[in-house]
Amino acid sequence: MDLFMNSAVCLLERAAEKFCNKTAFEDMDSKLSFTELRARSRALASGILSRVKTGREYPIIIHLPKSVDSIVAFMGVLYTGSPYAPVEYTIAPVRMETITANLKPSMIITDAEGKESLSKLALDTEIAVLEELTGGSDDAAVNDALYKVCDLDGAYIMHTSGSTGVPKGVTISNRGVIDYASWIKAAFDINENDIIGLNSPFHFDNSIFDVYTTLYTGAKTLIIPEKLFMYPDKLMEYVAEKEVSVIFWVPTVMISVANSGALDAVELPKLKNILFAGEVMPCKQLNIWRKKLPDSAYTNLYGPTETNVCTYYKVDREFSDSDSLPIGKACENMRVLILNEDNKRCGIGEPGELCISTSGRSLEYWNAPDISSRVFVQNPLNTKYHDKIYRTGDLVYEAEDGNIMFMGRRDNQIKLRGNRIELGDLENAAAQLDGVLSACALFDKVRQEIVLFVETDKEIAPRKYRMSLWDFVPGYMVPARVVTMAKFPHTASGKIDRVGLRKAYIEGDS
Amino acid sequence: MEDIKNTLRAFIIDKFEIGDDPDFADDVHLFNEGFVDSFGAVEIIHFVEEHYGIKITQRDITLYPMNTVDEISEVVYEKIS
């Protein structure tokens, strides 16, 4: 009898039958087979079910280091019918409190060290240690909870930075996850003999690719130690030694590997499938990869957290270093619209906003109907029935050959290592710091880093501002450089002279 | 061992313009405390590899903490002795 696919965790149920004792996930310290993962996740689910309310309205926050334990936690929560919400292990206290207040989770699952640090915060929910939740497995209770899941229920919630400073909880349905995994299986040549080298942290939706590709295809996901991403040459040494065959990395990492010359020092005969998404991949660095590994398949994926991957382009021709890589065409079972300012469909070559229509991927933002209603709207081209589209805020145009070309943002949002950042958020956070009179954040496109300017009358070392910011914003928003000054330059109208600051400290310096 | 620390400390202070910051010490976390950014990590490893003619492998990076002058010196010391 075939298994009914009402929950994303059914992919694990199926994989455990099919791939049994084959390794599914491996980190530095341990590995888990499909059977072990299923058993541990069911045991965890039993523990959760016996303690708290579960189901689609009761999310559970996962606060764990990047390890196979995180996967156990995700699957365990899915078995209960609750959505899981991964947050960074180094999460800023204010961000943790804000997210928890909005989600009102049934519990937070963490480790002993995490429990100690989280206990100091105002969280008003149960904080449980993973090991302590895992006892005997009550399969009847788990099966009953799983039976009650409907594929439109949320599977996971990922948080992005919001322009108001309140993180938005993007909620993705079980249907969305299953649909995405089956698309990956159909679009790429990945099977149980593959080894996927995981780059992204679990609170970043790129990692959904690795986790669910493993569950769908039987390929192993190898969780690459975070530290290695600081050392491109050692990273590639590791990829070669571990015989990684599939990578789905952010362009920032692809670029630093290419620029460091790390590809020249290793042989990578196994690395066959190279995918990237999260920000623009420059052709200059892509060409360095293609020259070194001409037989590998390269794919540029595009998709905001709200819909996950929605367009893709399999690199099928030569590009010069200065060309822009297309983001391609809509994924199967996805519809992409390019709308102009009058909500009319754009013609070939005409710039417009990329909008996405999809069966079940996004359930909008958790507990935020007002913000949701601004970007999840009725498809203006369909007057016949309820048909929501997501407005990405990304400007694109369709080229002659039908491929979509990315142009930029409609707003001030920037992308850094795949993370969406509103510079205004960072300025607001910096303004709260001791000694800061005024703050201004600028993005250095060449160096791909944020520079924070601080107006202050105190003698405080710039790096101290960087450290203090860790308490307020996610690590990826902490500026690479801080420049302090007694007085900001101002324009004639009295605004901070951002152009002047950029000229003096960013462009003049590179 | 002391020689290695002295050499490494001098390199880091000079390269990352630390000057006479009183918070800087051999056991201070270079990255968490903001003395060195993530790009600087590569420069430190390249420096010790070239200066001492050794190779720091991906295993060294994953197995040992290498976040302080003390910790990095320890790995270098093991390699050259």
Give the structural domain span for B49: 2-20+28-80
| B35 Cα to chain A: minimum distance (Å) | 7
The CA distance from A24 to A9, in Å, is: 14
Q: Which residues of A touch B61 (CB under 8 A)?
A: 225, 227-228, 231, 234
pLDDT of A3 strictly over 90:
no
Residues of A in contact with B56 (CB under 8 A): 234
Round the average pLDDT of chain A to a whole number and report it: 93
In order, the DSSP letters of A232-290 are HHHHHHHHHHTT--EEEE-HHHHHHHHHHTGGGG---TT--EEEE-SS---HHHHHHHH
Q: Report the Cα A285 to chain-centroid distance in Å.
A: 22
Q: Mind listing the pLDDT tens digit for each residue in B27-46?
A: 999 988 888 877 789 999 99
> Could you tell me what percent of chain A has a pLDDT over 90?
76
Evaluate if residue A510 carries a pLDDT over 60.
no
The percent of residues above 70 in pLDDT, for chain A, comes to: 98
pLDDT at A492 over 80: no
Secondary structure, 3-state, A310-344: CEEEECCCCCCCCCCCCCEEECCCEEEEEECCCCC
How high does pLDDT run on average in chain B? 92
The closest of A296, A294, A239, A295 to A262, measured between CA atoms, is A239
CB A49 within 8 A of CB A60: no
pLDDT of A432-453, one tens digit each? 888 898 899 999 888 888 999 9
Parts of chain A belonging to CATH 3.40.50.980: 20-149
Domain A415-507 has CATH 3.40.50.10490: no
Q: Specify the CATH architecture of the domain A330-413.
A: Roll (2.30)
Question: What per-residue string of b and e applies to A455-491 under the rule 16 or more CB within 10 Å gives b?
Answer: bbeeebbebbbbebbbebbbebbbbbbbbbeeebeee
Contacts of B33 in chain A (CB under 8 A): 463, 467
Q: Evaluate if residue B74 carries a pLDDT over 90.
A: yes
Cross-chain CB nearest to B34 (options A225, A230, A463): A463
Global pTM value? 0.89
Residue A157 has pLDDT above 90, yes or no: yes
**Pairwise CB contact (< 8 Å): B62 & A227:** yes
The pLDDT tens digits of the residues spanning A41-64 come to 999 999 999 999 999 999 999 999
Among the residues of B16-80, which ranges form H helices?
38-52, 58-63, 69-80
Q: Does the pLDDT of residue A359 top 80, yes or no? A: no
Average pLDDT over residues A481-499: 85
Question: Touching check for A242 and chain B: CB below 8 Å?
Answer: no
Element (H, E) at A396: strand A388-398
pLDDT of residue A410: 80
> Chain B residues contacting A, CB < 8 Å?
21, 32-35, 37-38, 41-42, 45, 56-58, 61-62
Bridge-based pairing of strands A334-339 and A352-358 is antiparallel
Contact between A443 and A424 under an 8 Å Cβ cutoff? The reply is no
pLDDT tier, A1 (very low <50, low <70, confident <90, very high otherwise): low
Pick from A301, A302, A310, A238: nearest CA to A274:
A301
pLDDT of residue A509: 54
Domain with CATH 3.30.300.30 in chain A: 415-507
Q: Was domain A20-149 assigned CATH 3.40.50.980? A: yes
Alpha carbon distance A201, A207 (integer Å): 6
CB contact under 8 A, B42 and A238: no
- Alpha carbon distance A157, A78 (integer Å): 12
CA A35 to chain centroid = 27
What is this model's ipTM? 0.86
Can you tell me the distance from the alpha carbon of A337 to that of A176, in angstroms, rounded to the nearest whole number?
A: 19
- Give which of B61, B64, B66 to mutate to test A binding, by max A Cβ within 10 Å: B61
Examine the pLDDT at A81 and tell me if it is beyond 70: yes
Supply the CATH number for residue B58's domain. Answer: 1.10.1200.10
Residue A20 contacts B, CB cutoff 8 Å = no
pLDDT of residue A163: 53
Residues facing A157 on adjacent strands: A171
Q: In what order do the strands lie in the sheet with A168-173?
A: A126-129, A107-110, A60-62, A84-86, A154-160, A168-173, A362-365
Tell whether the model's pLDDT for residue A361 goes beyond 70: no
- The 3-state DSSP class for residue A78 equals helix
**A234·B38 Cβ contact <8 A:** no
The SS3 assignment for A142 reads helix
CB A177 within 8 A of CB A362: no
Number of domains in chain B: 1
pLDDT at A274 over 70: yes
pLDDT at A378: 94
Domain ranges in chain A with CATH number 2.30.38.10: 330-413
Give the C-alpha separation, A71 to A207, whole Å.
11
**pLDDT at residue A205 above 80?**
yes
Report the amino acid identity of residue A18: K
